[in-house]
Structures are given as C-alpha cells and as structure tokens.
Copies of this chain bind each other. A is one copy, B any other.
Amino acid sequence: MAESNKRVVLAYSGGLDTSCILSWLKENGYDVIVYVANIGQEEDFDALEDKALKIGAKKVIIEDLRRIFVTSYVWPAIACGLRYEGRYLLGTSIARPCISEGLIRTAKAEKASLVAHGATGKGNDQVRFDLSCYSLCPEIEILALWRKREFYTRFSGRTDLLEYAHKNGIPVSATPKEPWSTDANLLHISYESGILENPAIPAPIELCKMTTNLENCPNEPEEIEIAFTKGYPSSVQNLDNCYVIDNPLEIIEYLNEIGGKHGIGRIDIVENRYIGLKSRGIYEAPGSKILYEAHQDLEIYVLDREVLRIKSYLAEKMSDYVYNGFWFSPECDFVRESIERSQKYVTGMVRLKLCKGSG
C-alpha cells in the first residue's frame, strides 16, 4: 500500500472499541486523524482529545455539528414525519449520515483516502456509515474494522480488547460497563443489546436519563405553543411564563428539557433491523416526540385528505430508507423533496399540554 494510502480519518467516540482501533491502526502503520463529532451527546471533549493524542492520534478534530444536525437532519425528519415501523423516531439513524458527512469532509480536507469506524456488523450502523460515505465520496476506502479479518480474529471479544488496552496504556473507564449499549445525541438516548435483548425483561428503572419516571412527574401540567413554518419548527413558547425560543438548537434542547421533566417520549419496542434480525430497543426522545405529535396535529388540520394519504405513504418509505442507511440516495432525495412539497402550507401554531408522559 502506498504511503498516501495509510492516512485514515477515524470516527472516534472515546470508548474501548474505537480506542483500541486507534491504537491498532497506528500499530499497523496508519497515520490516524481522529474525528469526533459533537452531535449533542454528553461528553468531555477536551478529555477525549487528550486521550486520543495519548493513544497515538496524529491529529484530533472535534467538530460541533449540533446546528447542522438540527437544521439539515432533525428538522427535515420532523417535516417529513419520519417514524420507523410507526414508533421509532430515528434518532440514531439520522445522526449517522450527519457524522459521515463530517468524516468525508475531514478526509478530503486532510487528504486522507481512508475513513475508519468501529460499528459492528450486528446492527444497522455499519451499513449506514458505509452507504453514507460511499454516496458522498465513491472513491473513499472504508475500514470497517469489525469486518476486517486481521482485526476481528485478533479481538474476539471484550476481554481481548481490555487486555490490549491494558497492554497499550489505553485508559479504561473504572466503572464497569453497563450490561447494554447506548447511543446518545441531541435527539435521544437509545439502549439496546446485552440484557435488554430479551423483551420479557422489563427495562431497568435506573436506565433512563432524559425522562422522569411517570410516578415522579409533576402534577402540574405545562402548556407550550410550537410554531411551524412550511413544516419546520420555527419557535416554541412556554404559555405559562411566556418564554419564547426561536433558535433551532435551543428549541430542541428546550423541548428535551421540558418534555423530559414531564416524562414524555420513552418507548420500549422491538424493531426489524435491516439484515432481518428482530431487535429490542428502549428510547428516550422527549423533544422529538413532542415535535412529531405537534407537527402531525398541524398537518392533519392543513392537508387535504388525499394529500395526507400520499404523504403518509411516502413518509413510511422514507423512514425505511433512512433506517436502512439510505439517507444519501436517489430514492431518499426524491421522496424527501416530494414530501417537503406537501409542506407548503404547513404553517401555524400548535398548543400542547405536557403532563405525565402525555404531550
């Protein structure tokens, strides 16, 4: 492999997997540029940078994608009414193309011909990263480490990774890993795998972080009014204190906060993954739940019945495309532009009373 081909941009989370990948890539002669996308997850980004440099990153790039995530991914998802299998609001699915866009932009800027990620084959994320990156840059080479023989035969499980981390001075979190995996961003926290895989086991009560348990929610409802312009959220007003927000990022943050306080947006479902598996997932998505419902209330009031039927059909198609990783695809573009055409008149205000899980 030519020297130039050994320059790789790694999508880095700071966790055990991507830390070992970083170290292993360096060990195998790659120049690793670490890329961290801030899409609203709770994280100490300075600590992350230090850690990556210590492990051997040539350079660490931390990008705040929160605004672009909201305006280019979350708002379209709301306007299009995306919901997978009638329930899941696609919080992770729409984050992957956003991160991929950052990865590819960075690879181009850094003249790297490779990008790497640590997504496993079991879920949908490997597919989402691969399809997004190839769509944005067909000549990119993708190192999906968990699909690479040299890597997955070297690390057959968590024990191997821990041992390798220990040997290579990779700091490992002292707290033992929770018996499930998590993905968090501005829009939601998801919980899956491990003990959660059996749907007969109820979600552990301590699991949820964004939403109050219903028994602890305030008895007093709060009323808010959400304004939409052509299907896009444009402002939120708290009708009790007249507080108004009209900045996209703050809108979603505020709705997460107030929705979470009232226990809104928690779901516990089984979903059909792209490769055919059934998977149990628990999601907390207070802000996007509120926006989804408010948008639906407005839309049904504004759209002609037949337009609504067609739009719903297209929204289901688009939800499948997005879930399966086809955000950047001719079919997704086509369907998205068609749906957005239907939003021409979806402008107006919706009032909601938030109380004990109900919006």
Contact = CB atoms under 8 A, between A and B. Distances in A.
A314 B301 CA distance: 23
Interface in A239-285: 269-272, 276, 278
Interface string A13-33: 000000000000000000000
A307 interface: yes
A286 interface: no
Contacts of A342: 334
A310 B297 contact: no
A215 interface: yes
Q: Which 4 A-B pairs have the closest CB atoms?
A: A306-B331, A338-B338, A272-B305, A304-B330
Interface residues of A, number: 49
A192 to B, nearest CB: 15
Interface stretch (A121-129, A174-182, A349-357): A349-357
Contact of A270 (B270, B301, B317, B337): B301
Nearest to A332: B306
Contacts of A353: 202
Contacts of A296: 86
Given A310-B331, A330-B306, A300 B357 contact: no
Interface in A301-353: 301, 303-308, 310-314, 316-317, 321, 329-331, 334-335, 337-338, 341-342, 351, 353
Nearest to A335: B310
A214 B300 contact: no
